Structure 1
C-alpha cells in the first residue's frame, strides 16, 4: 500500500542520485529534477521534526518554532539563489509562495473538505485579521514598486534603502502578530492551538516524541537543513539551463515550481486536516505560511541582500504584483464569512490555474 511516509522515503533515494548527477556532469535538467525531488522529502522531515520539538517544548515555544521553521525550505532556496545573484528568481519565489498558499493550498483544502462536509466553518475574526495583515504586505511591495516605475531616474541604492526600511517595519509587525496570536489574544486562536496539540494529529506522537532527546532532534534538524542547502545549491546552479531545455522560463519556475516544492509538506497537511473537518487549522497553516513569507522571509531576504551587496529590493515586476493582489483579493473575499464549501475551493484553484497559465506564456523579460 502506497502511503505518504512510503512515498517520502522513496524520494530520499533521489539525494544520492542528485549528487551523482552533479559529480558526473549529467544534463542540467537531470540535476534540476533530481534536486527538486530530493528537497521534497527533506522539507517534509523538517516539518515532522519541528512538530516533534514543538510538542516536547510546549505551546509557546512550540508555536514560535513552528513559525520560525515553517518556511525555512523556501528561505534556504531563496538565500542560495540570492547568493548566485538570481534576484529576479528570488522575487518570483516570494510572490509564488504567497500565491500558492492562498490559492492552491486553500483551494484544495476547501475542495476536498467540502466534498466530505457540505459546509465547513473557521474563525472569521482571525480570517479578517489575517486579511488585514495580507493587505499590509501588498502595500509594502506596491509602494516601492510604484516608486521604481514612477521615478525613471531613481538610483538602485535609493530603492534598496527604501526597501530595507520597509523590511524592518514588516519584521516588527511580524513579531507583533506572533505576540498577538500566542500571548495577548491567544483566545482567538484557541481552537487551532487545541487541534495542533491535543487531538489525533499529535496525540500518538506525544508519547513517541516525548521519549526522544530534544538535542538529538535539533541535531537532526541542523543535518536536514544542511541537506536542503546542498540540494538548493544543485537546483539553483542548474536552474537557468534546465528550464530552457524543458521549455520553461525561470519566471515560471520561480513562481510555480519552486514554491510547490518548498511547501509540499505544508500543502499535504493543510488538505489532510481539512478532510478531517478542521478548517480552522487548515486556514491557519496556509494563511499563516503566506503571512510569514510576506512579513518575515521577504524582509530577511531584502536585508540579506543589502548586507551581501546584492541588489535585492521590494521593487517587483508589475505582473507578479498584479498576480499577488488578485490572490489576496479573492482569498479575502471568500474567507471573510468564516465558511467554506467545495465550489469556493474550485474558484480558488481556477484562479491559480489561470495565473499559472499566464506565467507559463509570459515572454522572457530582462533579468530572466
Structure 2
C-alpha cells in the first residue's frame, strides 16, 4: 500500500468519530473538522469504486460513469448546502473548484513533475479544446451577472429563468464533449484514471466483483451525504470560531475536501511523467464542474424553491476568469515545466489571500 492510500485508509476513523461528535453534541467546530476529514477517504473510495465498475462495464459505459461520478462528492456537498439554503457557499464552492483544479492541482502537477523530469508534454489538441470549452464556461457565468448589474430592479425569478436556459445549454455542451471524447475523437483521449496501475485503493490483477463495487459505491454515497449534512449544519458556527468567512470556506476549503483524492492522483501521475493524465484530471474536473455540476444545481434550486442562479459575486467571476486565462496560456503549447507550475501556484496563493481578506 502506497503512502497516499495509507493516509486515506487511516482517515476512515473519522467517519465514526464525526457521527459520535454529532450525536453527543461535541460542538460545531469538532463536528465540522471531523466531517471534513471523514469526507476525504470516502471521496477516494467513491472514485475507486467507480473505476472498478468501469473496468467491468467496458470503456463506453465506464467512461460515462467516470464522467458522471468524477465530482460526485462535490455535487453531494453542494446539493446538501443548497437544500439548507446556503446558496452563497454553494456558488463559492463551484468557483473554488474551478480555480483549485486549474491552479492548485495543475500547478502542483507541473511543479513536481517538472522538478523530476525537467520538461513534460501532453496532447496540445485536447488542451486547446479544453481551453475553448472553459472560455464558454466563463461566458456562461459572466452574462447572468452582467444582466443583473446592468438591469436595476430585475427580479430573482427572471435571473433564475435565464440561468436555467444557460444551464440547459451547458449540459448540452457537456453531453457533446462526452460524445467527442468517447466516440468521434476517442483516439485523442487514450489515457484515463483506470489505466494507471497501482494507484487504486485495491490490488489489481483480476476482474473486479461488480456487485461488491456497486454496493461499495452505494454505501459510500450514503455516507458522503450523511457527512455533508453534518458539515453544512456546523458550517456557519465553525467558520466563525475559526475566524473564516463563508466565502473563503466555499472557495478554498470545501473544494479541497471534496476533491482531495483526485487531486492526489493527478500529482502522483505527473511525478511518474504521465502529464497527459494529470492535465486530463485537472482540466476535466474543472469542465465537469462548469458544464454539469453547476447546471444541475441551478435546475435543482428551481424545483426546490431556492434562489440558485448563475449570478455570481463579481470578485469570484474575476478570479475564475484569471484562473482560466493563465491556465490556458500555460497549457496551450502542450508542454510544461516546473516554472509554469510555480506560476499557477503563485496565482492560486494570490487569489486565496484575496478571498481570505475579502470582508
TM over 0.5, shorter chain: yes
1:340 paired to 2:336:
yes
Tell me if structure 2 keeps the 8 A contact 1:55–1:197: no
Tell me if structure 2 keeps the 8 A contact 1:99–1:327: yes
Tell me if structure 1 keeps the 8 A contact 2:55–2:62: yes
SS at 2:171's partner residue?
helix
- Which digits, 9 at most, give the CA deviation of each residue in 1:53-73, with x for residues without a partner? 112221111111111110000
Task: After TM superposition, list the pairs within 5 Å mapping 1:75-114 onto structure 2.
Answer: 75-114=75-114
Give how far 1:220 is off. Answer: 1.0
**Which residue does 1:197 correspond to in 2?**
195
Tell me if structure 1 keeps the 8 A contact 2:198–2:204: no
**Which residue does 1:184 correspond to in 2?**
184
1:353 paired to 2:339:
no
Separation of aligned partners in 1, 2:15 and 2:197? 34
SS at 1:207's partner residue?
coil
Tell me if structure 2 keeps the 8 A contact 1:55–1:206: no
Give how far 1:185 is off. Answer: 0.9
1:247 paired to 2:243:
yes
TM-score, length-scaled by structure 1: 0.95
- Which digits, 9 at most, give the CA deviation of each residue in 1:264-291, with x for residues without a partner? 0110000011011110011001100000
**Which residue does 1:207 correspond to in 2?**
205
Greater Cα offset, 252-261 or 17-26: 17-26
Mark the CA change 1:162 to 1:265 in structure 2 (over 3 Å): closer, same or farther. Answer: same
- Which digits, 9 at most, give the CA deviation of each residue in 1:303-337, with x for residues without a partner? 00001110000000000000000000000000000
- Which digits, 9 at most, give the CA deviation of each residue in 1:241-286, with x for residues without a partner? 0000000011100000000001101100000110111100110011
Separation of aligned partners in 2, 1:54 and 1:213? 11
TM-score, length-scaled by structure 2: 0.97
1:302 paired to 2:298:
yes
Tell me if structure 2 keeps the 8 A contact 1:52–1:205: no
Tell me if structure 1 keeps the 8 A contact 2:53–2:62: yes
Tell me if structure 2 keeps the 8 A contact 1:22–1:234: yes
- Matching residue within 209, 220, 224 for 1:224: 220
Mark the CA change 1:77 to 1:200 in structure 2 (over 3 Å): closer, same or farther. Answer: closer
Separation of aligned partners in 2, 1:33 and 1:197? 34
Task: After TM superposition, list the pairs within 5 Å mapping 1:14-93 onto structure 2.
Answer: 14-93=14-93
Separation of aligned partners in 2, 1:206 and 1:58? 16
Give how far 1:6 is off. Answer: 2.0
**Which residue does 1:366 correspond to in 2?**
none
Separation of aligned partners in 2, 1:147 and 1:205? 52
**Which residue does 1:117 correspond to in 2?**
117
SS at 1:81's partner residue?
helix
Give how far 1:213 is off. Answer: 2.4
**Which residue does 2:172 correspond to in 1?**
172
Query: Structure 1: any 5+ residue segments left out of the alignment?
Result: 364-368
SS at 2:189's partner residue?
helix
Task: After TM superposition, list the pairs within 5 Å mapping 1:3-14 onto structure 2.
Answer: 3-14=3-14
Query: Structure 2: any 5+ residue segments left out of the alignment?
Result: none
RMSD of aligned residue pairs (Cα, Å): 1.5
Tell me if structure 1 keeps the 8 A contact 2:159–2:311: yes
Give how far 1:196 is off. Answer: 4.3
Tell me if structure 1 keeps the 8 A contact 2:53–2:213: yes
Tell me if structure 1 keeps the 8 A contact 2:120–2:337: yes
